[in-house]
């Protein structure tokens, strides 16, 4: 069967309108206050059109967030690992707190605590690609002798990123989340080769 | 007006029955599947009785979780900070993953992402008392020369606890959460006084 190009264009337009409406509504009203009905109304489609493509509000909002993020998870590489980690972690905290995706992220993660399929989709589309980029950068810093080689880089990723998400999820407030970038120095104290310690 | 002791006893019995029902249902079915109606039915009270004392399902379950935890947040003190942190963090991860409060905790934290009053109550009744106990233990380790004195102990608390919650909230799976206690050694690498580094 030949696909009908006109209907494919129509589908793509509807999909785009749904994701735009979901992202806009969640950003303005917060995840909890947005319904599938409201997304459908703003997108100019029926509710069944949404449920044909997504299983839940969380799934629509995750995809909208993904489109907003794009697929560029590249980690900065100036040759100075301390500076690059600070740059990157500052950018991530800004994005979480004040960025356009902040409400969507909070909503999706809240839902994902009780929805394993949504958590799996979040990990596959956002978390794991980000971790892979970070590990690649840490590997090159280990190779350059800027980080010790006896702590696995996946453990290092956890040590650098955990404080941001811990402070964010456990309600420490925006200032504390923003200051997560300051912790890079404290974590580095333990991860730099001992020979540098003087 | 003299309070009526019989009606006070009745109230306390109802309150207890509601908290027991909430905890039991959430532990067995998971937070998302439990309704206020189901809690009321199992407790043998009407829905209005629940809403007279609590504003939401999250609030009832948080209080049920608090009763289960008790008010003992004491941190072990054997004189060896590395051993005590490992003991405590192992206990916390076990409680989060397999403990009786695991479902309640996941549910409350999911809700709290979109409910600031619930987050505030969680912080005041559970998180802040735990942090205070941990800081007191870290302060005594700093005084004993087992930890460096130039990193504030509130930052140290974040470094030790963040990996558990980060792995738990971001869906790393039970094994990774359990292995958070292994990270104590990696974090300590940076927090022990340099003179010990050899």
Per-residue pLDDT tens digits for A31-51: 989 999 999 999 999 999 999
The matching CATH number, chosen from 1.10.340.30, 3.40.220.10, 1.10.357.10, 1.10.10.10, for A70-197 is 1.10.357.10
Per-residue pLDDT tens digits for A116-162: 999 999 999 999 999 999 999 999 999 999 998 988 999 999 999 99
d(CA B37, CA B35): 5
- Residues in A touching B191 (Cβ below 8 Å): 186, 189-190
Per-residue pLDDT tens digits for B13-62: 999 999 999 999 999 998 989 999 999 999 999 999 999 999 999 999 99
Query: Are A156 and A147 within 8 A, CB to CB?
Result: yes
CA angle B135, B80, A188 (to 5 degrees): 65
The ipTM, to two decimals, is 0.86
**Residue B198, pLDDT score:** 39
Query: Are B26 and B107 within 8 A, CB to CB?
Result: yes
- Residues in A touching B171 (Cβ below 8 Å): 112, 116, 119-120, 122-123, 127
- For A109-124, give the secondary structure using H, E and C: HHHHCCCHHHHHHHHH
Search chain B and give the residue with CA nearest A155.
Answer: B183
Per-residue pLDDT tens digits for A72-119: 678 999 999 999 999 999 988 888 887 788 889 989 998 998 889 999
Region(s) of chain A under CATH 1.10.10.60:
5-67
**Residue A170, pLDDT score:** 92
Q: Select the residue of B115, B151, B169 nearest A169 (Cβ to Cβ).
A: B169
Region(s) of chain B under CATH 1.10.357.10:
71-197
Q: A161 vs B166: CB contact, 8 Å cut-off?
A: yes
Per-residue pLDDT tens digits for B48-107: 999 999 999 999 999 999 998 886 678 999 999 999 999 999 988 888 887 788 889 989
Structure tokens at B22: 């909430």
Compute how many other C-beta atoms are within 10 angstroms of the C-beta atom of residue A13: 13
Please report which confidence band the pLDDT of residue A197 belongs to, taking 50, 70 and 90 as the band edges: very low
The matching CATH number, chosen from 3.20.20.300, 1.10.579.10, 3.40.50.150, 1.10.10.60, for B5-67 is 1.10.10.60
Superfamily covering domain B71-197: Tetracycline Repressor, domain 2 (1.10.357.10)
Burial class of residue B42, CB neighbours in 10 A (0-12, 13-18, 19+): middle
Search chain A and give the residue with CA nearest B159.
Answer: A163
Q: A123 vs B171: CB contact, 8 Å cut-off?
A: yes
Q: B163 vs A165: CB contact, 8 Å cut-off?
A: no
Per-residue pLDDT tens digits for B147-198: 989 889 999 999 999 999 999 999 998 899 888 888 888 888 878 886 544 3
**Residue B196, pLDDT score:** 47
User: If you count residue pairs, one on A and one on B, with CB atoms under 8 Å apart, how many are there?
Assistant: 121
- Residues in A touching B116 (Cβ below 8 Å): 171
**Residue A196, pLDDT score:** 47
For chain B, counts of helices (H) and of strands (E): 11, 0
- Residue B2 clears pLDDT 70, i.e. is over it: no
């Amino acid at each position: 069967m030949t696909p009908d190009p006109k209907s494919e264009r129509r589908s793509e337009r509807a999909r785009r309108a749904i994701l735009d409406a979901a992202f806009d509504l969640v950003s303005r009203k917060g995840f909890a206050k947005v319904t599938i009905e409201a997304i459908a109304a703003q997108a100019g489609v029926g509710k069944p059109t949404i449920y044909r493509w997504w299983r839940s509000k969380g799934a629509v909002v995750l995809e909208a967030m993904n489109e907003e993020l794009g697929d560029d998870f590249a980690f900065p590489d100036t040759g100075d690992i301390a500076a690059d980690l600070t740059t990157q972690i500052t950018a991530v905290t800004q994005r979480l707190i004040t960025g356009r995706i902040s409400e969507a992220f909070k909503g999706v993660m809240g839902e994902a605590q009780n929805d394993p399929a949504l958590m799996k989709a979040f990990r596959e589309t956002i978390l794991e690609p980000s971790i892979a980029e970070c590990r690649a950068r840490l590997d090159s810093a280990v190779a350059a002798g800027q980080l010790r080689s006896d702590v696995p880089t996946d453990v290092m990723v956890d040590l650098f990123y955990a404080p941001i998400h811990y402070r964010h999820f456990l309600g420490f407030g925006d200032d504390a989340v923003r200051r997560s970038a300051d912790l890079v120095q404290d974590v580095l104290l333990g991860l730099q080769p001992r020979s540098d310690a003087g």
